[in-house]
A and B are shown apart, each in its own frame.
Chain A
Amino acid sequence: MNASAKVVLDKEVPTKVVLANIVPTKVASAKVIPVKVMHITSGETVLQQQPEHSLLVRQGVKATILSTAMPEQKFHILIEEGAEVVVCTIHQHSTCKSSSDVHKDARIQWIDILLDDSNLQLQTNLLESGAEVSAYQAFLGSADIQSDVLHASGHTKSTMIAKGILQNGLGTYRGTITIPQQSSGCIAHQRSDMILLDDQSRGDAVPILDVSNDDVQCSHGATLGQIDESKIFYLASRGFTEDQAKKMIVEGFLASIIEHVPNESVKQEIQQHLERGLTGGKEMRIVTNGG
């Protein structure tokens, strides 16, 4: 791979670096450029790191970004015409602000897996026609998510799906779709589903639509509830224990988000983490080591 993806490691606090400037090369357009963001820190400094990354994706490039969020980080991505980016981030005890400006016919797919009490703020600005965003989030335990999409131009499309399993924690999901008056022909759909596993859990959902144009397809939906007991009963009748049944249902519930994770080994690690989390095992920090 001779793509000129440049990764700069950040050392100073706070840092503001161009993480990667991906320019079109002779790589066939169908080829996806993989980028892995690694934060290498030593010992005690880890909690003081507040990196601010920015990434510029040039015309027509396709890239996949895989990273583990720092305890506090900011990430800004600018996507030029026709480029496509998948950004997959694993969050553990982190507070993360990510934003993206998406230009003509460009696409961004956010995949955020929030484990153990994480906080995520996502802002996507669809600036020119044909721009598209998909934002997928899965969360376990406790989480606070704010995901906003601004359809600054007409003929743009957004899909937001969040699924959470709340265990002994508070899950908050706020999602806003804003369609100003000049933006005709937008399609925007939003959905958030939460399962509350125990009586110590709380779930708050605030999905907001702010629409000033009549030529739109716009909807949102939200559900909160517990695992359907009839499903557990059915699985139990097939010989599974209650714990096994619950695990299967939870996995199935999150599968539609996790299947978007672009890396098999990361996917497996997430699965393992979920299992540990659900069976009350000790948590372990996930280090993305795929490539």
Chain B
Amino acid sequence: MPEVKKQLAGLEISREMYDEVNSHQAKFVAKPGINEEVVRLISATKQEPQWMLDKRLKGLALFQDTPLPSWGPNLAKLDLNNIVYFVNPNAQEATSWDDVPEEIKKTFDRLGIPEAEKKALSGVGAQYDSSVVYHNIDKLLKEKGVIFENMDTAVQKYPELVKKYFMTSCIPINDHKFIMLHAAVWSGGTFIYVPKGVKVDLPLQAYFRMNEQRGGQFEHTLIIVDEGAELHYIEGCSSPRYSQTSLHAGCVELHILPGAKMTYSSIENWSKNVFNLNTKRAIVHKNSSVRWLNGNMGSAVTMLYPCSVLVGEGARSESLGIAFAGAGQDQDTGSKVIHAAPNTTSIIKAKSISKSGGISSYRGLVKVTPNAMHATSHVQCDALLLDNLSSTKTYPTMKINNNTVNIGHEASVSKVGEEQLFYLQSRGLSAEQAMQMIVSGFIAPVIKALPLEYAVELNKLIELEVEGL
């Protein structure tokens, strides 16, 4: 069916909106490369306490001693000495969009952030390169004691909470090479604390925009949902397209205390010159639950495996992911769950689409420790290949050290069936409509799980993708 092949060639996510470089002049751009001087400079600029500087320097020392990972996608194109580790935009953090400098405001306008805030969110943070430029939260939530701050401010304002939870029990600074780097140069990000029993009805959102050429963004997100509280947090990411590579090495730590519930949604739509080497982990306590929704559309190379550590009895984790790999993209994603307590449950559903030579991989882990009696886990990953140039890999790992468990894994690889297309066409649909219908059907189980409000971004992307057919 050559006609269909031709149609497929047009299937590409439109990135125009994101790829355009914004004209904003940064206030300060550090020299490329990383050394103690840069790290001290970042810390001094932020007037950080000594313990944070110590942490950064320790991270730097570890980073310099650790080799690149020997597994996974090829990172040879990533020149760590050519990355700018700190870019301070020429703006103060504002709580009203009117106070945000015009060029930056325009960027976020184009991305639809202020619009979404009015309609469907209870708070928004926006980060531009290394600093947060806008932050606002619903007054009612503030009165209930919900803290929604940029991470730098939180270090100053809530030192005890930050010191207790920042890169300690969840993701220690020696976790892996890019976490060591993150610990050394982190800047910006989100800090959220939801007090006991408070339910946040509308989602809180943060948006990360990387604008500087050869830039690196290392935002740190730390969220503590206290006992019995509920939260939905959304993260969106984008960057303009340059010919030189950029690096995003963020870190997300979620502490979900007993009986709490949290949904973490993120759409990462970096441009195709970005290495997205991100680390996300949740510590899930007794009877609490976490839900990860992940969309990975952009970037040259993504290595991202959100992890849930179920440490309390009855803890629950659900992970839903979509990855789209186009020409030149390597989406190495997956989910990890560590069942470390009795009666814990996990579900992982991953869908990937590859086209025009893109590579999408599922790399996952389900681990059950000897004390995790009656753990249940189900993993399902499906891959759709849209042409013969693309490839898909599945590397699920199951390490089970307990015999009272119920563990299942399923994976499949398929293409858009010619019979399916033929059938739909015989019902009067055009080849284009038929293809569109099949692709949306494939990802529907994950899309359906997204809350309507959040569809703002992902649905827009998927529409663009399917429209191009």
The residue in chain B whose Cβ has the minimal distance to the Cβ of A174 is B397
Bound CA–CA A199/B372 (angstroms): 11
Task: List residues 341-388 of chain B with CB under 8 A from any CB of chain A.
Answer: 370, 383, 385-388
User: Does A281 count as interface, using CB distance less than 8 angstroms?
Assistant: no
Partner of A218, one of B390, B403, B408, B413: B413
The residue in chain A whose Cβ has the minimal distance to the Cβ of B391 is A212
Q: A219-B412, A219-B413, A223-B408 are in contact. Are A213 and B402 (CB under 8 A)?
A: no
The residue in chain B whose Cβ has the minimal distance to the Cβ of A220 is B411
Bound CA–CA A198/B415 (angstroms): 42
User: Does B398 count as interface, using CB distance less than 8 angstroms?
Assistant: yes
Check if B415 sits within 8 Å of A216, measured CB to CB.
yes
User: Does A215 count as interface, using CB distance less than 8 angstroms?
Assistant: yes
Bound CA–CA A71/B411 (angstroms): 35
User: Does B22 count as interface, using CB distance less than 8 angstroms?
Assistant: no
With A199-B404, A223-B409 given, can you name 16 additional A-B contacts, CB distance below 8 Å? A181-B391, A202-B399, A204-B397, A204-B398, A205-B409, A206-B397, A207-B411, A208-B396, A209-B392, A212-B390, A216-B413, A218-B414, A220-B411, A222-B407, A226-B405, A226-B406
Check if A211 sits within 8 Å of B398, measured CB to CB.
no
Partner of A211, one of B392, B395, B401: B392
A243-270 interface mask toward B, CB cutoff 8 Å, 1 = contact, 0 = none? 0000000000000000000000000000
Tell me, rounded to whole Å, the shortest Cβ–Cβ distance linking A236 to chain B. 19
Check if B411 sits within 8 Å of A196, measured CB to CB.
no
Residues from chain A with a CB closer than 8 A to the CB of B398 are 203-206, 222, 224
Check if B370 sits within 8 Å of A199, measured CB to CB.
yes
Q: A215-B388, A223-B409 are in contact. Are A208 and B400 (CB under 8 A)?
A: no
Bound CA–CA A216/B394 (angstroms): 15
Check if A214 sits within 8 Å of B408, measured CB to CB.
no
Tell me, rounded to whole Å, the shortest Cβ–Cβ distance linking B4 to chain A. 12
Bound CA–CA A10/B397 (angstroms): 40
Bound CA–CA A203/B390 (angstroms): 33
The residue in chain B whose Cβ has the minimal distance to the Cβ of A181 is B388
Check if A198 sits within 8 Å of B411, measured CB to CB.
no
User: Does B393 count as interface, using CB distance less than 8 angstroms?
Assistant: yes
Partner of B396, one of A203, A207, A214, A226: A207
User: Does B61 count as interface, using CB distance less than 8 angstroms?
Assistant: no
Residues from chain A with a CB closer than 8 A to the CB of B437 are none
Residues from chain A with a CB closer than 8 A to the CB of B390 are 212, 214
Contact sample, A vs B, 9 pairs, CB 8 Å cutoff? A203-B400, A205-B397, A205-B409, A207-B411, A213-B388, A220-B394, A223-B409, A224-B405, A226-B405
User: Does A4 count as interface, using CB distance less than 8 angstroms?
Assistant: no
User: Does B410 count as interface, using CB distance less than 8 angstroms?
Assistant: yes
User: Does A201 count as interface, using CB distance less than 8 angstroms?
Assistant: yes
Scoring B387, B401, B415 by chain A CB atoms within 10 A of each residue's CB, the highest score goes to B401
* Range class of the B interface residue count: 20 to 34
Q: A184-B388, A226-B403 are in contact. Are A211 and B409 (CB under 8 A)?
A: no
Q: A198-B403, A202-B399, A225-B405 are in contact. Are A214 and B415 (CB under 8 A)?
A: yes
Tell me, rounded to whole Å, the shortest Cβ–Cβ distance linking B192 to chain A. 36
Bound CA–CA A172/B461 (angstroms): 41
B33-55 interface mask toward A, CB cutoff 8 Å, 1 = contact, 0 = none? 00000000000000000000000
Partner of A224, one of B370, B385, B407: B407
The residue in chain A whose Cβ has the minimal distance to the Cβ of B401 is A202
Bound CA–CA A209/B350 (angstroms): 14
Check if B399 sits within 8 Å of A204, measured CB to CB.
yes
User: Does A138 count as interface, using CB distance less than 8 angstroms?
Assistant: no
Check if B399 sits within 8 Å of A222, measured CB to CB.
no
Residues from chain A with a CB closer than 8 A to the CB of B161 are none
Bound CA–CA A202/B410 (angstroms): 20
Check if A222 sits within 8 Å of B409, measured CB to CB.
yes
Check if A210 sits within 8 Å of B391, measured CB to CB.
yes
User: Does A280 count as interface, using CB distance less than 8 angstroms?
Assistant: no
User: Does A221 count as interface, using CB distance less than 8 angstroms?
Assistant: yes
Task: List residues 13-58 of chain A with CB under 8 A from any CB of chain B.
Answer: none
Bound CA–CA A209/B412 (angstroms): 9
Bound CA–CA A220/B408 (angstroms): 11
Bound CA–CA A122/B388 (angstroms): 28
Top 10 A-B residue pairs of the complex, sorted by shortest distance between their CB atoms: A196-B403, A212-B391, A214-B385, A214-B415, A209-B394, A218-B413, A224-B407, A222-B409, A219-B412, A205-B398
Bound CA–CA A212/B406 (angstroms): 32
Q: A208-B395, A222-B398, A224-B400 are in contact. Are A181 and B411 (CB under 8 A)?
A: no
